Amino acid sequence: MLLAAAPVLAEIVPPPARVASPLLAQPRQVGSGLYSWWGFDVYQASLWAEPGFDAAALPRQRYALELHYRRDFKGRDIAQRSIDEMRRVGSFSDAQAQAWLQAMVAVFPDVSNGDRLTGVNLPGRGAQFYANGKPAGEIADPEFARLFFGIWLSEQTSAPKLRLALLGQSASAR
């Protein structure tokens, strides 16, 4: 049959973040995009939110950002890169950077291809993290959460196409 020979071009959309259900009422995917660096696929990012999500009011809303990794990384390297990227979003002291780095190192496990890390913005409280659907820890600091999620969602992001895709404003990202 001709149909059997046709290549499949559609990318399979991952199921909703497993942690979204208990933390978000009626979670829906806002957007998704693939982050690549120097031609290597790093992760598929997906933003999940409740109905009525407003991108203009990010710090005041509960949402989940899920990263489905396509490569292996050490948790410490993810934490350090997060600090570097957070500095693009806003300024903070070296003492804050050190405290946040230590907190992320305690929360972020090493990841392998296929693993999922999910962060949930908790307005006025901080961020809750999950590794492959299991609780990994919480960083109780609203400023940390604003800057951390800003890595992907702020206008100061180093990946503007991915930001637009996550916010549902673009068809694809790389």
Residue 22 pLDDT grade (very low, low, confident, very high; cuts 50, 70, 90): low
Q: Where are the beta strands (DSSP E) in the chain?
A: 28-37, 40-49, 63-69, 116-122, 126-131, 134-139
Question: pLDDT at position 14, please?
Answer: 46
Instruction: Look at the chain and report how many structural domains it folds into.
Output: 1
Question: pLDDT at position 18, please?
Answer: 52
Half-sphere exposure (Cβ direction) of 117: Cα atoms closer than 13 Å: 25
5 pLDDT more than 50: no
- C-alpha distances (whole Å) from 111 to each of 47, 76, 121, 136, 156 are 19, 10, 21, 13, 26
d(CA 80, CA 83): 5
156 lies in some domain = yes
55 lies in some domain = yes
Percent of the chain surpassing pLDDT 90: 76
173 pLDDT more than 70: no
Q: What is the average per-residue pLDDT within 133-161?
A: 96
Q: Any idea what the CATH number is for the domain that residue 66 is in? A: 3.50.70.10
Q: Which residue has the higher pLDDT, 40 or 20?
A: 40
Question: pLDDT at position 20, please?
Answer: 56
Please name the amino acid found at residue 40.
Answer: F
Q: Quote the mean pLDDT of the chain.
A: 88
172 pLDDT more than 60: no
Domain that holds residue 71: 31-166
59 lies in some domain = yes
135 lies in some domain = yes
41 lies in some domain = yes
Phi/psi of residue 89, nearest 5 degrees: -80, -40
Q: What is the average per-residue pLDDT within 85-108?
A: 98
107 lies in some domain = yes
Q: How many CB atoms lie within 10 A of CB 35?
A: 21
